[in-house]
Amino acid sequence: MRWLAKAALQRGLGFLPRGESLNYVFQRHVARSLPAGESVFRRKFARAEQHVAAYEAHGPDKPIADAVFYEFGVGWDLAIPLSFAALGVGHQVLVDIRPSARVELVNHSLALLEQLGGPVTSLAELAERFGIEYLAPLDARATGLPAESVDFVSSTDVCEHVPADDLAAIFLECHRLLRPGGAFSCRIDLQDHYSYFDSSLSRYNFLRYSDGAWRLVNSPLHFQNRLRAPDYLRLVREAGLELVVEKPSGPDEDGLRQLEALPLAERFRDGYTPQELGVTVLSFVAVRP
């Protein structure tokens, strides 16, 4: 039940006017989950490498130094965009609906990427030093950025936190921003995120709740939409993007057993095979034809 206490706290913070800042204080000084450790950073670096590989395999025929990358939902420490810079990406536009990036956390990422040089004193300095434009708060549903102005869209562990209707709008906006021939590389973590905090929970635990019950637990600060892999892929196609890579991970045998033992909410009982329901991480690449 530890997870319910955490959910209640985040739900409370989520409805406060300065909830985002209070959550930062909580994550940094109480939960001590920020700054994330070096192993988390290395995992994010590997995700940036996967996005760059997707650009090289499916994006336009343009060197990454000349390409414009766009990432939505960049978070606190800008670990992925700074990894992109270290990998040679020349220009980046970053958006986040919350102005979560913090200079001290960005400098923590920079300290782990020695090739990028020393710390910054402000987020504005990222433009001059790394070609990174950080735009927040800015909603990825409607950025106001010029149409067909980016070569590549990436997103990492964000879509699972966005309500389904908002996600449809975000994918349409990605389509609008991409130049024809541009590519979108996306990673989505479909596991119940409270299971990371409370090891007694199955990674599918949240599938047992009706939408009404889940609404009571869900917090604006840690929203989880519970969409499954086929739902995301449908939204991508409906936005007019063409899927060129679909890479679901899981479920393994243990995952299938956990699913079988779980009293699924009606919403998840029909309409999905156990294989579809149990996907833990979904990566895909789609192109704008």
In the complex, the residues that contact ligand SAM under the rule CB under 6 A are 44, 72-75, 79-80, 95-98, 100, 139-141, 156-158, 161-162, 166, 170
CA distances from 158 to 3, 97, 167, 198 (A): 20, 11, 10, 21
CB-wise, 73 or 248, nearer to ligand SAM? 73
Q: How many CB atoms lie within 10 A of CB 250?
A: 17
Contact by Cβ (8 Å): 88, 55: no
Closest CB to ligand SAM among residues 100, 191 = 100
Nearer to ligand SAM, 58 or 161 (CB): 161
Rounded least distance, CB 67 to ligand SAM, Å = 19
265: burial class by Cβ within 10 Å (0-12, 13-18, 19+)?
middle
Residue 71 C-beta: closest distance to ligand SAM, Å: 7
Secondary structure class of 58 (helix, strand, coil)? helix
172 CB contacts (<8 Å, ≥6 apart)? Answer: 239, 240
The least CB distance from residue 264 to ligand SAM, in Å, is 25
Q: Which is nearer to ligand SAM, 28 or 141 (CB)?
A: 141
Minimum gap (Å) between residue 167 Cβ and ligand SAM = 8
Task: Give min distance, CB of 197 to ligand SAM, in A.
Answer: 14
User: Which of 214/275 has CB closer to ligand SAM?
Assistant: 214
> Are the CB atoms for 82 and 41 separated by under 8 Å?
no
